[in-house]
Amino acid sequence: MKKKSLRKILQNERRQNRGITLIALVITIVVLVILATISINFLFGENGLVTKAQQATQLTEEASAMEDMGIYLASVKGVEAQEENFRLADYLSNNIGNNGLEDFLNNGDGYGQVSYNGNKFLVNLTDYTYTYLGKSDGTVNRRIEQVLGNNNESVPGISMVEAGAIETEDLGWRVLSVNKDGSVNLIANRNTGFEVSLSGINGYTNGVKALNEICSKLYGNLEINGVQVISARNANVEDFYNVTYGVNSSEDIGKVYTTQKIQAYINTLDVTNDGYSTEQIENYIDAGNTSGEQSSNTQMLVSSQGMTIKEVATRTAKEETASMLNTGNNYWLATRNTNSHWDSQSGEIPDSEDERYEEYKMTYIRADGEYANYTIFKIDGHNTSGTNITQNCALRPVITVPAECVPDTTIGASVETDPFNKTGEDTNGYVKAETIATLLGTDVKGVNAISSGLPTIEADMTWTKLEAGGYNSLTGEFDTENYDYYIADKTTKLQMRLTGAPAYNNGVLAMDTVMNNLYGNLTEIKINDGKDTIKVNVVLARNAKFEDFYDETETSSSSYGGVWSTNANDSTAPNKITSTGNRYAPTLFASEDINTSNGISDGYSDAKITTYNLSTTGSTIQLTDEQRNSYSYEFYNADPGLKVVYNAYSGNPNRNTAQANTGTPFWLSSRCVEARWHSALFYFRCMSGIGALNTSNVFISYSSTNSNCYGLRPVLQVSK
């Protein structure tokens, strides 16, 4: 009995010891976890050693950066003491690339952004005080106004495609209209930062649906005073205008087609509708045929019965929304538009040929706030293939909200929206997409986002020496003895938009100023092999010019260089612009030299103004407000009348041909004029994506305005 008891006692002790050991182990682990947590927090927590060390390092770096900046600005003050009329902004602008100054931008509000030795600062341009903004990649953020050299003010006729991310933006809202059911339409105060291109017949057919759906995806989940919006779309023509349409058919004017004609399939649906804005296709039309089948997936059709389309018959602005049109940039209206006419043999024999011309257009609002149309698909004669054209604009969202969340429904009244966050749960409707395809869930043919850039130096730019010389903008001639000329190997991501007579006035100066402000302070460049870097002394940076690619003395055009005039008694101008009422011209044109003895295009390529044309100059006799706003004037019958040299040229370059093709179009800082019996077209020259010289008209003598945009092409004039 005693042995059993002893054995039991020992067994019980062993069990207890195991229990104590397990408890001790658990306690030990818990203690170790606590100690580890304390150690981790001690090292890496908000007040930990590592965090404090990192903060100390950051503060040390910031203090060092602040000290360096202080020393630099003190040295600049020394320069100020020795110079009269010294301005800190001018000094910083002129010394980018020297002594650690990487970039500078005058904000226009008394402060400037400075990138100095890898750090960014906000500098008071009056008292030299400054604030540290963090690390810098060597550049500062810019807007086009800040590189035009015009005290941060906008320049008429000049805007940029500074395309941003495809995302919901804080655009601000105001009341556009009130619907019959009491809901309220709100329109964005600004256009979107990103732009969308519409191309060809697919862009025409899919454009309205795509523009509306893009806005729906981005703005359909916003909240107004805690209430989610009912729907979102893009603005359309009916938001701003009262429009009526008239039917135009081959039968109406007594013409019958002798061959088959082609048209956008959606136009057969438009004929039965009241206009072009209503969405009439359920699915995007991505593929097409010319078999005449009118299926839901047919982008175009061939008709042997003639064509019936609707054209705008009347259009009057709505007084209550007219003030909302202008956003300062081009933006699409979700509205199609079409016109059609018979060939008239240069206007001499109307309706003389059995050929119909059709232009399929998308409506937009120009940078100057005026209604306009882009032709994106065109048919000439009996052509069954058509011409596809790509144009791009921003969007202008419209959201529909319940009446109860808008306290003031007065047209134009501002409405506050609930803020949204770009990350986290409280996004309140924020949406972002990499492409239009990912946003819409399908790759819509003819609809794409524009990839552009801000007006900053593109660090990956390489350069090629112009072997055939370059145009010296300082003297207006070629000078290869004293200078070398280097041209960028690609078109800038940044695109400039030129609109109307103001663009004709301001365009050369604007393009050259932007290029000089961005690239004029380079001290070294990478040449075109992408490996070698050379030091350069840049005298001037500018945009590429017509003369860089073409020697006018070798032109083969018989009409090139001809003098045209509206003055019937001008014997020096054998060609006459006979149509009356076509006497308008950009104001700058009055001071341009049209003496052909000085060279065919003398006076058109170089800016004849040293400051931007911000108000009307030249003749102001009988100038209406509308004409003044267009920066043009009318000659009427004044001697010498509208007299121009026809110097527009389209074709292949004959100089520096290897450098002409960048794969993307770019502007040339060169004006020209094309004269016809009924009008004169005022152009800016440009280079196509395949390296052919083209022209793009910005203004016509019967006061028609056009708006187009391309990239730029920097050229460096370098001292030998």
Q: Do residues 114 and 89 lie in contact, with contact meaning Cβ atoms separated by under 8 Å?
A: no
Helix 2-44 and helix 49-82: axis angle, to 10°? 0
- 517 within some domain: no
CA 586 to chain CA centroid, Å, is 23
Looking at residue 289, its pLDDT comes to 42
Assess whether pLDDT exceeds 60 at residue 291. no
Q: Are residues 206 and 135 in the same domain?
A: no
Amino acid at 605: S
Looking at residue 625, its pLDDT comes to 60
- 480 within some domain: no
Looking at residue 169, its pLDDT comes to 87
Q: How far apart are CA 57 and CA 370, in angstroms?
A: 55
Strand pairing report for 387-388 and 390-394: unpaired
Helix (H, G, I), strand (E, B) or coil at 177: strand
Short-list 505, 685, 698, CA closest to 607 = 505
Minimum mean pLDDT range among 198-202, 571-575, 605-609 = 605-609
Number of independent structural domains in the chain? 4
Q: How far apart are CA 360 and CA 598, in angstroms?
A: 43
Assess whether pLDDT exceeds 70 at residue 425. no
For 453-477, the pLDDT digits (tens) are: 888 888 889 999 998 766 666 666 6
- 556 or 104: which leads in pLDDT: 104
* pLDDT confidence tier of residue 521, bands split at 50, 70 and 90: confident
Looking at residue 109, its pLDDT comes to 64
Domain end position, chosen among 384, 419, 449: 449
Q: Are residues 563 and 650 in the same domain?
A: yes
The DSSP letter of residue 136 is: -
The DSSP letter of residue 150 is: S
If one counts every other C-beta atom within 10 angstroms of the C-beta of residue 66, the result is: 15
Looking at residue 307, its pLDDT comes to 65
Q: What is the mean pLDDT of the chain?
A: 81
Looking at residue 368, its pLDDT comes to 80
Q: Are residues 172 and 290 in the same domain?
A: yes
Assess whether pLDDT exceeds 90 at residue 668. yes
- 208 or 17: which leads in pLDDT: 208
Q: How far apart are CA 672 and CA 666, in angstroms?
A: 16
- 716 within some domain: no
Q: Are residues 591 and 636 in the same domain?
A: yes
- Average pLDDT value for residue range 40-68: 75
Q: Are residues 7 and 118 in the same domain?
A: no
Sign of CA pseudo-dihedral 702, 708, 713, 717: positive
Q: Are residues 248 and 374 in the same domain?
A: yes
- Average pLDDT value for residue range 439-447: 90
Helix (H, G, I), strand (E, B) or coil at 182: coil
Short-list 515, 507, 646, CA closest to 588 = 507
Assess whether pLDDT exceeds 80 at residue 22. no
- 519 within some domain: no
* pLDDT confidence tier of residue 13, bands split at 50, 70 and 90: low
* pLDDT confidence tier of residue 292, bands split at 50, 70 and 90: very low
End-to-end CA, the chain: 117
Which residue range(s) make up the domain with 687? 549-710
Q: Do residues 108 and 146 lie in contact, with contact meaning Cβ atoms separated by under 8 Å?
A: yes
Q: Do residues 138 and 103 lie in contact, with contact meaning Cβ atoms separated by under 8 Å?
A: yes
Q: Are residues 380 and 263 in the same domain?
A: yes
- 527 within some domain: no
* pLDDT confidence tier of residue 485, bands split at 50, 70 and 90: very high
Assess whether pLDDT exceeds 50 at residue 235. yes
Assess whether pLDDT exceeds 50 at residue 288. no
Assess whether pLDDT exceeds 70 at residue 228. yes
Short-list 312, 327, 180, 320, CA closest to 240 = 320
Looking at residue 363, its pLDDT comes to 96
Helix (H, G, I), strand (E, B) or coil at 216: helix
Assess whether pLDDT exceeds 80 at residue 162. no
Give the CA count within 13 Å in the CB-facing half-sphere of 516.
17
Q: How far apart are CA 647 and CA 673, in angstroms?
A: 6
Strand pairing report for 563-565 and 575-576: parallel
Short-list 469, 412, 429, 433, CA closest to 240 = 412
Q: Are residues 184 and 284 in the same domain?
A: yes
Domain end position, chosen among 449, 476, 511: 449
- Average pLDDT value for residue range 309-316: 85
* pLDDT confidence tier of residue 558, bands split at 50, 70 and 90: low
* pLDDT confidence tier of residue 295, bands split at 50, 70 and 90: very low
Which DSSP string do the residues of 341-400 spell out, in sequence order?
EE--TTTTSTT-SS-EEEEEEEEEE-TTS-EEEEEEEEE-TT-SS-EE-EEEEE--EEEE
What's the pTM value of the predicted model, to 2 decimals? 0.74
Looking at residue 590, its pLDDT comes to 73
Q: How far apart are CA 628 and CA 115, in angstroms?
A: 41
For residue 705 the two structure tokens come to 């305005």
- Average pLDDT value for residue range 570-582: 81
Assess whether pLDDT exceeds 80 at residue 199. yes
Q: Do residues 264 and 208 lie in contact, with contact meaning Cβ atoms separated by under 8 Å?
A: no
Q: Are residues 89 and 175 in the same domain?
A: no
Residue with tokens 């112009």: 466
Most confident of 92-96, 186-190, 242-246: 186-190
Domain end position, chosen among 449, 465, 488: 449
Sign of CA pseudo-dihedral 540, 541, 545, 550: positive
If one counts every other C-beta atom within 10 angstroms of the C-beta of residue 343, the result is: 16
| Category of 85 on φ-ψ map: left (φ > 0), alpha (ψ -120 to 50) or beta | left
For residue 428 the two structure tokens come to 């309140």
Q: How far apart are CA 200 and CA 120, in angstroms?
A: 45
Q: Are residues 23 and 81 in the same domain?
A: no
Looking at residue 586, its pLDDT comes to 87
Minimum mean pLDDT range among 201-215, 502-516, 517-531 = 517-531
- Cis check: omega of the bond before 640, within 30 degrees of 0: yes
Work out the percent of the chain whose per-residue pLDDT is above 70.
Answer: 78
Looking at residue 294, its pLDDT comes to 38
- 467 within some domain: no
Q: Are residues 101 and 19 in the same domain?
A: no
Q: How far apart are CA 657 and CA 551, in angstroms?
A: 12
If one counts every other C-beta atom within 10 angstroms of the C-beta of residue 212, the result is: 22
- Average pLDDT value for residue range 687-698: 94
- Average pLDDT value for residue range 258-281: 73
- 118 within some domain: yes
Q: Are residues 593 and 676 in the same domain?
A: yes
- 373 within some domain: yes
- Average pLDDT value for residue range 56-64: 83
For 584-643, the pLDDT digits (tens) are: 888 888 777 666 665 655 567 776 677 888 765 444 444 566 655 567 776 654 545 688
Q: How far apart are CA 296 and CA 562, in angstroms?
A: 52
Cα separations in angstroms, 386 against 273, 290, 306, 308: 25, 12, 16, 17
If one counts every other C-beta atom within 10 angstroms of the C-beta of residue 414, the result is: 12
Looking at residue 133, its pLDDT comes to 86
The DSSP letter of residue 470 is: -
- 95 or 242: which leads in pLDDT: 242
User: What's 331-356 look like in SS3?
Assistant: EEEEEEEEEEEECCCCCCCCCCCCCE
* pLDDT confidence tier of residue 10, bands split at 50, 70 and 90: low
Based on its alpha-carbon atoms, the radius of gyration of the chain, rounded to whole angstroms, reads 33
Q: How far apart are CA 165 and CA 178, in angstroms?
A: 31
What is Dmax (Cα atoms) for the chain?
147
* pLDDT confidence tier of residue 143, bands split at 50, 70 and 90: confident
Looking at residue 217, its pLDDT comes to 96
Looking at residue 515, its pLDDT comes to 93
Looking at residue 583, its pLDDT comes to 74
Element (H, E) at 639: none
Looking at residue 311, its pLDDT comes to 82
